[in-house]
Amino acid sequence: MLFQKLNISIIGTGYVGLPTALGFSKLGHNVTCIDNNNIKIQELKNGIIPIYEKDINTLFFKEYKKITFTTSIKDGISNADIIIIAVGTPTNKKTNEADLSYLFNAVNEIKIYLNKRTKLIATKSTVPVKTGDEIEKIINNSNIDIISMPEFLREGFALEDFFNPDRIVIGANNKRYLYLIKKLYRKIKRPIIYTDRTSAELIKYTANAFLAIKINYINEIADLCENINANIDDVAKGIGADSRIGNKFLKAGIGYGGSCFPKDTQAMATFGNKYNVNLTLVKDAIINNKKRQKNIANKIYNIISQINEKQINVGILGLAFKNNTDDCRESPSINIIKSLLKHKNINIIAHDYKAINTAKQILNNKISYSNNIEDVINNADIICILTEWEEYKKIDFSLLYPRHKIIFDGKNLLDKNKLKGYQYYCIGKRG
């Protein structure tokens, strides 16, 4: 069968929209990216990538000249077969619901400029159940179907996940235009799971909350390991070998962060209430994850209290919420730093491979930043690893001379046998 190009317009060119645009362009479709952030669009037009995402450079420079970048929804959707919405849905801090204002702004504008060519409006943003029904009411056009197309990519692995997803989920109440989805994903040889729209919306939240609960569980077991002198890495290996449990998302640490798990668990707990279901597991995960980050900060401070210096220099390795990204949204590292800064005797100098600029937008000049790991370590009274950058594993601590040789490894990255002369603290096992 001859490959048929589709015209796809993606609204929102962030951590999801941009990799998705590059992915569909690479699959041979005509892609238009629309974003109301003019600086971002100008950068993209000029070949500047506004985010850091692992391995994005090569694909970006192959594809970006084929992609149209615009700030105008009117121009951007004029030829679209499918419009994909990928704008942010952060937490509304007053109501704890997902803030859908960005989404509805986009939908209201789409409605004005829609034309007969467009058949599908697909929501890739993570939105509470029944949001598709609201969009349908606003669009109010019987020639167009509103579908849910939840996104499961992980930051730092966005392209890998785009081209090799475990599954693609499509939620549609009307099947008449689903042939377009088959064309869209024709070259991705992975199962497509078709559901009704509300179920697809729920799949997205259920998956994220399940993973958040799984992490929360392994972190609780890590605490238990510390009290009974067991080893969390061995426990995780032992349970992860059971295929019913699976070995992924069992890394104990300092709590989960990012722009997704915290906000999506919060939104889900809130819409659970709205539909009269008390989602206790989800609510516990939210509470425990916040507590965990506070507890970790206290733990670090307790270690610091043993150091006999008036001012303590804390060297932080890692600011991003995880490795392979520059994203600091809800980063546990940043939350822990904020708690530590409440103590007047603490100075912080932090390193990250990619997230110094994004961290600066949150912490400003409350801490110092350095691109030089050796500087950070050699000037530190205690070194805290708070992001799982693989590169930190390669540091040869025997060649470095911090004032006090103390390491807190919040990600269990290091091999304690290579840390002779250091006091080593880690998670869920004896350091």
Catalytic residues: 260
Residue 295 CA to residue 340 CA, distance in Å, equals 11
The residue among 313, 362, 301 whose CA lies nearest residue 335 is 362
59, 139, 153, 215: which one binds ligand NAD (CB under 6 A)? 153
Q: Which of residues 380-399 bind ligand UGA (CB under 6 A)?
A: 388
User: How would you label 378-390 residue by residue, b for 16+ Cβ within 10 Å and e otherwise?
Assistant: ebbbbbbbbbbbe
By CB under 6 A, the residues from 351 to 380 that bind ligand UGA are: none
Which residue is listed with tokens 């029904």? Answer: 133
11 binds, among ligand UGA, ligand NAD, none (CB under 5 to 8 A by kind): ligand NAD
Q: From 6-14, 192-200, 350-358, 401-409, give the range in contact with ligand NAD by CB under 6 A.
A: 6-14
At 148 the three-state DSSP class reads strand
Does 318 sit near ligand NAD (CB under 6 A)? no
Instruction: Please name the residues in contact with 211: beta carbons below 8 A apart, sequence gap of 6 or more.
Output: 249, 261
DSSP 8-state assignment for residue 153: P
Which of ligand UGA, ligand NAD, none sits in contact with 226, Cβ below 5 to 8 A by type? none
Query: Can residue 34 be called a binding residue for ligand NAD (CB under 6 A)?
Result: yes
Task: Please give the residues from 22 up to 81 whose contact with ligand UGA meets the rule CB under 6 A.
Answer: none
Piece of the chain touching ligand UGA by CB under 6 A; list 55-63, 67-75, 245-253, 364-372: 245-253
> Strand pairing partners for 189?
none
Which alpha helices (DSSP H) does 27-120 contain, by range?
A: 38-45, 56-63, 73-76, 101-113
Question: Which residues, other chains included, contact 238 with Cβ-Cβ below 8 Å and sequence gap of 6+?
Answer: none
Q: Which parts of 255-314 interact with ligand NAD (CB under 6 A)?
A: 259-260
410 binds ligand UGA (CB under 6 A): no
Query: Which residues face 171 on adjacent strands?
Result: 148, 195
Q: How far apart are CA 180 and CA 167, in angstroms?
A: 17
Instruction: Give min distance, CB of 95 to ligand NAD, in A.
Output: 17
Query: Kind and range of the H or E element at 348?
Result: strand 346-351
Residue 256: name its binding partner from ligand NAD, ligand UGA, none (Cβ under 5 to 8 Å by kind).
ligand UGA
Among 81, 145, 151, 352, binds ligand NAD (CB under 6 A): 151
The continuous run of DSSP H or E covering 333 comes out as helix 332-340
Give which of ligand NAD, ligand UGA, none residue 428 binds (C-beta under 5 to 8 Å, depending on kind): none
- Interface with ligand NAD (CB under 6 A): 11-17, 34-37, 40, 86-89, 102, 105-106, 125-126, 151, 153, 155, 259-260
Question: Using CB under 6 A as the criterion, which residues of the chain lie in contact with ligand UGA when the complex forms?
Answer: 126, 151-155, 208, 211, 215, 249-251, 253, 256-258, 260-261, 321-322, 388
